[in-house]
Structure formats: C-alpha cells, structure tokens
Amino acid sequence: MTSHALFPRLLPGLFFLSLFFLSYLLHFNGLYGQDAHEYLRQSRVIFDCWQDVPTPPLTIGDAEFAGGYPLAGALMRFLVGDSILALQCVSWLVAALGLWVFERLLALLAPGARVMSRWVYAGLGLVLAPMFLRSGLTSMSDGLGLLLALAAFFFGLRAFENSRATDAIWAAVFAALAVSTRYSLAALLLPLGVILCHYLWTKKKWLAILGAILFGGVALLPHFWLKADGAENPFGHSMLQHWSLGNFFQSSFNNENGLSRYPLPNILFLFFPIAHPAFCLM
C-alpha cells in the first residue's frame, strides 16, 4: 500500500487524537448544559445497576432522554473506570467512526471518485462543520446517533444493489440502535425503512424482511429494558404526547422541557440544518 493510499485511511484515527488533545488542552470534560449532566446521571445509574448498587427512582429525564448514549457510556466505563471520561471517550470514538462511515457511504454513492477526493469532501463537509466538531467534544448523544444513522443508510442503500439479507438486517439493526439513541432519528430513517421494505417485498426477499424485523426488534430490547419502569414506558415522551400539525406554525412552546420562545414560526427551522453555517463549512 502506497503512502498516498495509506494516509487517508489514517484520518479517522488522527481525528480521534485531535479531539482528545483538544479536550485536554481546553481542560474540557465534555459536560456542557443540563442534557450532558442528565446523560451522565443515567450512565451512572445503569453502571450501578449492573454492580447491584441501589439506584434512585426514575425522573422525568428517563422518559425524555433515549438510553442508547448513557448505555454506551456505562459500557465504556468498564474500560476507563471514570464515568465522566467514559462518556467523553464515546463521543471521541463515535466522531472518528462517523467520519469513516461517511467516507464509506461516499464510496458507495460515487464509486468512481478518487479516495483522496472523498476524504477531502468528508473533511470539508463533515469534520469542519462546527456542529459535528462540537458533537465530538461534548458528552451528548448527537455523534452516536449520527454514526448509527449513517451506518443504517450505508447498509440500506447497499441492500438495493445486491438484495442481500445480511445488508437489510444490518440496516434494521443500526436503525433501531439509532432511534434508541435519538428518538427524532425515527423521522429520518422511516422513509429508508419503508422504501427498503417495499423493494425487498417486490423482489420476494422474504428471508431478508423477516430477518430485518427480527434482529431490528432484538436491537431495541435494551432500550425497553432501560425504560421498562417508566411511568408511561418509551412512548410517554413529550414529543409524542404534544405532537400536532399546529406546532409547525407556533413560535412558543411550554412542556416538560420548559418554556421555549422563538422569533419565527417553527416550520422555518426545518431548514435550519441546510441554511445555518454551523452544520456545514460551505
């Protein structure tokens, strides 16, 4: 392998090290805002539960926050020992893996593009996007949710090419894990699931459909285990309880998360990721 071919493949690892050293130089532990502290609390509760340590009763945060990220932090804690560092390690790692999966997705969509061109595009469009960089530094579920969603799209789109049952199954597994990490990703992944299911149905790939449903359901089980003692289970989220078409035309909201006021109607913020420079360098 030539040096020109090797260097791009080292970029995810270099990005991981960059996030590590940047956090070290800034003396930043990843805990920014109440959401990060809530993820830390839930991660500690999960770890204590595995250690047979008495845990406190559930709070509103257990119903509002998905359990995928704190679960990953609890697992990482077995390796690093410290709960705060564990969550930060998860953010560093998933940001690097997200960069790699993004490049793999580009290779799938543009197989004729040069390797260096794909990595340059990934660097300009993803690494230098402030929101993505922030997700790799803070103890939040954004980075993990993005990684899992990208993986779901990668295997889902590849299933259209080869109709292999394994790709459809992996797409379902990663989609389930993504939703159990960020509830809002269900809206993003639902069209992919519907189109893929229709495609496999027309191709009479019954084994692929059955396997995707079965293994996707299994991937959701940890989430239901984490939320099993909640007052209204996972479906008691305020996002579902207060959903309405009228919300698109309102500018103020008062729910379990507090009072929020915006200068413009909510529907305009649907274009926020496209227009705001924090999501893209260009």
| Pair 126, 194 in one domain | yes
Whether residue 165 lies inside any domain: the answer is: yes
Whether the pLDDT of residue 282 is over 60: the answer is no
For the segment 100-120, the average pLDDT, to the nearest whole number, is 90
Ranges of H-type helices in 123-205: 130-137, 142-162, 165-179, 185-202
User: What is the reported pLDDT for 262?
Assistant: 78
| Pair 272, 226 in one domain | no
Residues 175-223 pLDDT 10s = 999 999 998 898 889 999 999 999 989 988 888 899 999 999 999 888 8
Residues 1-27 pLDDT 10s = 555 566 677 889 999 999 999 999 999
Could you give phi then psi for residue 241, rounded to 5 degrees?
Answer: -70, -35
User: What is the reported pLDDT for 4?
Assistant: 57
Whether residue 3 lies inside any domain: the answer is: no
| Pair 281, 149 in one domain | no
Angle at 196 between CA 108 and CA 245, to 5 degrees: 110
Whether the pLDDT of residue 232 is over 50: the answer is no
Whether residue 1 lies inside any domain: the answer is: no
Whether residue 4 lies inside any domain: the answer is: no
User: What is the reported pLDDT for 58?
Assistant: 67
| Pair 90, 124 in one domain | yes
Higher pLDDT, 229 or 206: 206
Whether residue 2 lies inside any domain: the answer is: no
**3-state secondary structure at position 261:** strand
Whether residue 27 lies inside any domain: the answer is: yes
49, 51, 54, 58 alpha-carbon torsion, rounded to 10°:
-20
User: What is the reported pLDDT for 155?
Assistant: 96
| Pair 230, 247 in one domain | no
Whether residue 172 lies inside any domain: the answer is: yes
Residues 246-275 pLDDT 10s = 777 777 776 666 677 777 777 776 666 666
Residues 146-156 pLDDT 10s = 999 999 999 99
| Pair 282, 173 in one domain | no
| Pair 260, 140 in one domain | no
| Pair 263, 223 in one domain | no
User: What is the reported pLDDT for 270?
Assistant: 66
| Pair 63, 150 in one domain | yes
Neighbours of 224 (CB within 10 A): 14
Whether residue 171 lies inside any domain: the answer is: yes
Q: 48: which 2 tokens? A: 């204590």
Tell me how far apart the alpha carbons of residues 235 and 213 are, in angstroms, rounded to a whole number: 19
| Pair 172, 86 in one domain | yes
User: What is the reported pLDDT for 276?
Assistant: 61
Tell me how far apart the alpha carbons of residues 237 and 216 are, in angstroms, rounded to a whole number: 21
| Pair 273, 175 in one domain | no
Q: Which amino acid is at 57?
A: P
Residues 29-83 pLDDT 10s = 999 988 899 999 999 989 988 888 776 766 665 667 888 999 999 999 999 989 9
Tell me how far apart the alpha carbons of residues 27 and 147 are, in angstroms, rounded to a whole number: 26
Higher pLDDT, 123 or 96: 96
| Pair 62, 195 in one domain | yes
Total number of domains in the chain = 2
List the domain range (segments joined by +) for residue 140: 10-241
Whether the pLDDT of residue 108 is over 50: the answer is yes
User: What is the reported pLDDT for 63?
Assistant: 66
Q: How confident is the model at residue 116 (pLDDT cuts 50, 70, 90)?
A: confident
User: What is the reported pLDDT for 258?
Assistant: 67
User: What is the reported pLDDT for 5?
Assistant: 61
pTM for the whole thing?
A: 0.84
The residue behind tokens 């396997």 is 211
